[in-house]
Amino acid sequence: MVTEFSGSGQTRNLRVGVIASRFNEFITARLLSGALEALRACGVPDGNIAVAWVPGALELPQAASRMAKGGGWDALVALGCVIRGETHHFDVVADGAARGTDAAARETGVPIAFGVLTVDNAEQAVARAGGALGNRGADAAKAAVDMANLFRQFPPLTQRQV
C-alpha cells in the first residue's frame, strides 16, 4: 500500500514566525494583515505568532535563517514587495530574496513560505495584497501551516541529517 502524506490547514498548537520587509510598507503591511488573518483562521492563536520587521527583501532570508536556527518555530512566512524600477537592481533583489529564503529553509529544515511580491508596478502589488487578485500574504501563511503540518507527519530527523 502507498503511504500518502498531506498537510492540513487547521491547527491549534503551531508556532509561526512572520518576517516582513519595511521597504514598500504600504504593500507589506497589507500582506502582513492578510497573513495574520489567515493564521488565525487556521487556528493559530495570537500567542503563537511573532512578527519580525526587516529593512528590505534581501534581509528576509537572514532573519528567517536566524529565527529558524533559534528553534521553537514550526514554520516561518517571509513577506515583501519588490517593484521593478529602471535598473537591474530589481532582478538582484528578487533573485536574492527567493534563493536566500529557499536556502534558509533547506539549511534549517523549517518550512519558510515565500510571500514576496515581484511586480512591475504598484497597481500590480495592490491587486495582490488584498485587492482584486487576493492576498499573497494570506496564501503564504496558509502554505506555511500546510507545510508545518506535513512535516509533523514525517519521522524526525536525526542530528546527523540536519
pLDDT per position as a tens digit, 101-114: 999 999 999 999 99
Domain residues of the chain, as ranges? Answer: 36-120+133-145
pLDDT per position as a tens digit, 76-97: 999 999 999 988 999 999 999 9
Percent of the chain scoring above 90 in pLDDT = 83
Q: What angle do CA 84, 21, 132 make, to 5 degrees?
A: 60
The catalytic residue positions are: 89
Q: What is the Cα gyration radius of the chain? A: 16
Q: Write down the pTM of the prediction.
A: 0.93
Closest by Cα among 113, 117, 109, 125 to 93: 117
Distance CA 29, CA 53 (A): 10
pLDDT band, very low/low/confident/very high, at 5 (cuts 50, 70, 90): confident
Q: What is the pLDDT of residue 9?
A: 65
- DSSP annotation of 49 reads E
**Protein fold of 36-120+133-145:** Rossmann fold (3.40.50)
* For residue 126, pLDDT beyond 80: yes
Distances (CA, A) of 112 to 88, 89, 120: 26, 24, 24
